[in-house]
């Protein structure tokens, strides 16, 4: 008889909790599997109760450093500017992010496997860039789907261990940097060993790595959300996000997240970044130019 996946996940989660309570002296040596950790992480973040509204709204300020080139390939921080955004989550897999301040207008919509990004009334992308993945850990409310996403993103979900991340003792899913052969190719997710809330996510794609660092988790209703998120691309901070307000809500789902309707309403940029495109691995000089271009494109969205 096939056991439903939600029952299997519940049993795995109970085993983790029972081991920690019954064997406190041994629990430090006990390392859960990836499905167990992801199940506990999803439960820790919350918003699994049918009693709460299906939506969760976050208003945050995005602080974007301005870098100026100096000698060689180094860059200096010349200050920063800020943009206010509104994020509307509808669980389990929909998100709309809107720019609420600044000279530019724009929004992104994610619904299931579909995605679209609009800037100044023009579709500029129908696939997520690396920096768009910082909300993924909040959207996936199923351990199997989340594990599939991590695996698809290049994270070795068979590797689990303890690690120190941002001065926290964490469980790590993925390859440790010191064992990866190339540190900048390491990717993984770090989960606080006490709260089971995610501390960080590192992704690597096409010669570029990005870290999402999650801090200052606070609770609204039964849902936890990080009030501070930092994005670090190839060891350079590209944005800091500070949440100003969170609330539960019941949004207008149909029009808000209808990507087909949105695609019909807005014209496409001549060269839209598409999920079907392929990029060859660049050389060292090309990597530096490509990184500068990525950061400049990212900044132009908000300037």
Instruction: List the domain boundaries for the chain.
Output: 31-277+291-300
CB-based contact 96:249 (threshold 8 Å) = no
Q: How far is residue 112's CA from residue 11's CA, in Å, rounded to a whole number?
A: 27
Q: How far is residue 113's CA from residue 260's CA, in Å, rounded to a whole number?
A: 13
Classify 72 in phi/psi space as left (phi over 0), alpha (psi -120 to 50) or beta: left
Tell me, what's the pLDDT at 103? 66
Tell me, what's the pLDDT at 282? 39
Q: How far is residue 71's CA from residue 63's CA, in Å, rounded to a whole number?
A: 25
pTM: 0.77
Fold held by 31-277+291-300: outer membrane lipoprotein receptor (LolB), chain A (2.50.20)
Backbone angles phi, psi at 250, to 5 degrees: -125, 85
Q: Based on the number of CB atoms within 10 Å of its own CB, is 31 exposed (0-12), middle (13-18) or buried (19 or more)?
A: middle
Tell me, what's the pLDDT at 125? 93
Q: What is the mean pLDDT of each run of 10 residues along the chain (303 residues)?
A: 52 50 46 93 80 82 73 54 91 89 85 92 92 91 88 91 90 74 70 96 87 96 94 90 92 80 88 46 43 53 52
Tell me, what's the pLDDT at 142? 85
Contacts of 154 (CB under 8 A, 6+ apart): 187, 203, 204, 205
Contacts of 219 (CB under 8 A, 6+ apart): 46, 225
Backbone angles phi, psi at 71, to 5 degrees: -65, 145
């Amino acid at each position: 008889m096939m056991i439903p996946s939600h029952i299997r996940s519940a049993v795995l989660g109970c085993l983790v909790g029972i081991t920690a309570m019954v064997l406190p002296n041994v629990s430090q040596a006990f390392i859960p599997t990836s499905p167990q950790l992801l199940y506990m992480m999803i439960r820790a973040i919350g918003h699994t109760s049918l009693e709460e509204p299906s939506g969760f709204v976050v208003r945050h300020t995005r602080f974007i450093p301005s870098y100026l080139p100096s000698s060689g390939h180094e860059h200096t921080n010349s200050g920063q500017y800020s943009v206010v955004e509104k994020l509307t989550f509808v669980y389990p897999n929909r998100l709309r992010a809107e720019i609420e301040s600044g000279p530019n207008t724009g929004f992104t919509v994610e619904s299931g496997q579909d995605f679209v990004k609009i800037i100044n009334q023009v579709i500029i992308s129908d696939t997520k860039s690396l920096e768009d993945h910082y909300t993924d850990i909040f959207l996936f409310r199923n351990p199997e789907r989340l594990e599939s996403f991590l695996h698809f993103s290049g994270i070795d979900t068979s590797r689990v261990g303890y690690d120190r991340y941002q001065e926290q003792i964490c469980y790590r899913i993925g390859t440790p940097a010191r064992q990866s052969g190339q540190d900048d190719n390491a990717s993984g997710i770090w989960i606080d060993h006490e709260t089971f809330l995610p501390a960080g996510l590192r992704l690597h794609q096409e010669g570029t790595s990005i870290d999402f660092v999650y801090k200052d988790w606070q609770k609204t209703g039964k849902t936890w959300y990080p009030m501070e998120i930092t994005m670090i691309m190839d060891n350079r901070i590209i944005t800091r996000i500070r949440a100003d307000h969170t609330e539960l809500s019941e949004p207008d789902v149909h029009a808000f997240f209808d990507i087909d309707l949105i695609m019909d309403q807005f014209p496409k940029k001549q060269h839209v970044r598409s999920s079907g495109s392929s990029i060859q691995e660049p050389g060292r000089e090309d990597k530096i130019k490509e990184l500068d271009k990525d950061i400049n494109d990212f900044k132009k969205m908000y300037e």
